[in-house]
């Protein structure tokens, strides 16, 4: 069986505005009550995600794939023409994640699971 998509992330320079936009557009429940103002999304069905601020002020949309070994998948992506965007990182009280860009420049996230 393949690796499932387990999380999405939508980010923009004004976290409150983008959270309000998606909450009202799709009737999502978004909880951003944390120091990073990162809104965890409960869509009711399907995969959950996050809506929040961007460190560089540029908007982005990323989807995350669950893998057993994020470092190994970063290496596989690079062997196939991708580039590491964010090395493996453990989020405090959260998952272990990483990101790479595909040969076209699209960013894909990896979550250890």
Hey, what are 7's tokens? Answer: 């999380």
d(CA 107, CA 1): 23
Give the residue among 15, 2, 13 at the shortest CA–CA distance from 73: 2
Chain segment 1-45, per-residue pLDDT in tens:
789 999 999 999 999 999 999 999 889 999 999 999 999 999 888
Give the residue among 10, 34, 13 at the shortest CA–CA distance from 23: 10
pTM, full prediction: 0.82
Give the residue among 73, 2, 28 at the shortest CA–CA distance from 10: 28
* The pairing of beta strand 107-112 with beta strand 48-53: unpaired
Chain segment 50-70, per-residue pLDDT in tens:
999 998 989 999 999 999 999
């Amino acid at each position: 069986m393949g690796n499932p998509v387990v999380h999405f992330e939508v980010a923009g320079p004004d976290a409150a505005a983008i959270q309000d936009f998606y909450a009202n557009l799709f009737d999502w429940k978004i909880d951003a009550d944390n120091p990073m103002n990162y809104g965890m999304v409960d869509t009711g069905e399907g995969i959950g995600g996050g809506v929040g601020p961007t460190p560089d002020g540029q908007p982005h949309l990323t989807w995350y794939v669950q893998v057993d070994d994020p470092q190994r998948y970063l290496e596989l992506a690079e062997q196939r023409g991708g580039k590491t965007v964010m090395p493996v990182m453990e989020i405090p009280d959260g998952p272990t994640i990483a990101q790479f860009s595909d040969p076209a420049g699209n960013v894909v996230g990896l979550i250890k699971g």
